[in-house]
Structure 1
Amino acid sequence: MEIDYRWRGDVSDDELVELTSSHGGNPESGWWERVRPHSLGWVTGRLGGALVGFANVAWDGGDHAFLLDPKVRPEQQRGGIGTELVRRAAEGAARAGCTWLHVDFEPHLRGFYFDACGFRPTDAGLIALR
């Protein structure tokens, strides 16, 4: 079966809670309703109607887009779904007029973002607010 990818595809909070739970994340009911109004767009990946992948794209209203919360169901990982979600997220941001797509990640994901997705290292700063 082929994955059905959609920019701004229909997705429910319950589906995102379940997807996040599937790989040991800490889902929060109501998260999607709270975050969605701040999103430039998002990419859904479905297999036989079931949500198997998701990536959110926030933005500053101008040149900068931010890849947030990409996730793929564990049994579907390492098959290119995450890479395709990121590719389509980048396309959606570019179509919206963004010049840059930023991403933050944990060190063990360097290979995925730098090698598979084409991001490049850059200097950045971070302040922990909590």
Structure 2
Amino acid sequence: MRVHVRCPVDDDELSRLHVEAFGHADSPVPWSERLERHSRSWVVAEDEGRAVGFVHAVWDGGAHAFLLDTAVARSHRRHGVGRAVVAALVADLRSLGVEWLHVDYEARLEPFYEACGFGRTRAGLLRLSE
């Protein structure tokens, strides 16, 4: 497995990974454009030429970034891929001068994010769509 930071991405391949990881409806997402426009950094894990892991961080233009879309292919779960992409993202954000990295997650994912070094905080969430 190889980990690539701020690399070119294949929109269709990344969309397929997200469908598999999150169970979204299968629709292509313009990932390349979205990442270039909104993200401070992103990481893709590749195995045998196929994207098997992904994460990115959007930011406020200053000290804060927000981790989003941690995705790992079913075939590669529980093999350290998720931690590897998060660790690479953290290292890159540090090198870029980002001071704080925020993440929201479901309770079932708490052990994963704590293993990645995140501490617990209180946060609020408001659903804007029905």
- TM-score, length of structure 1 as denominator length: 0.90
Q: How many residues align structurally?
A: 127
Query: Retained in 1: the 8 A contact 2:9–2:32?
Result: no
RMSD: 1.4
Q: CA deviation at 1:32?
A: 1.3
* Distance in 1 between residues matched to 2:101 and 2:30, nearest whole Å: 22
Give per-residue Cα distances to partners, 1:19-43, cap 9 Å, x unaligned: 1222352143134145221011100
Change (3 A) 1:24 1:122: closer
After TM superposition, the structure 1 = structure 2 runs for residues 1-130 of structure 1, keeping only pairs within 5 Å, are 3-26=1-24, 27-36=26-35, 37-114=37-114, 116-130=115-129
Paired residue type of 1:30: V
Query: Retained in 1: the 8 A contact 2:8–2:32?
Result: no
* Distance in 1 between residues matched to 2:22 and 2:122, nearest whole Å: 30
Secondary structure of the equivalent of 2:118?
Answer: coil
* Distance in 1 between residues matched to 2:78 and 2:6, nearest whole Å: 23
Query: Retained in 1: the 8 A contact 2:41–2:58?
Result: yes
Q: CA deviation at 1:124?
A: 1.8
* Distance in 2 between residues matched to 1:82 and 1:94, nearest whole Å: 18
Give per-residue Cα distances to partners, 1:85-110, cap 9 Å, x unaligned: 11111111111111111111111101
* Distance in 1 between residues matched to 2:27 and 2:93, nearest whole Å: 26
* Distance in 2 between residues matched to 1:99 and 1:25, nearest whole Å: 32
Secondary structure of the equivalent of 2:110?
Answer: helix
- TM-score, length of structure 2 as denominator length: 0.90
Identity of aligned residues (%): 40
Q: CA deviation at 1:123?
A: 2.0
Secondary structure of the equivalent of 1:23?
Answer: helix
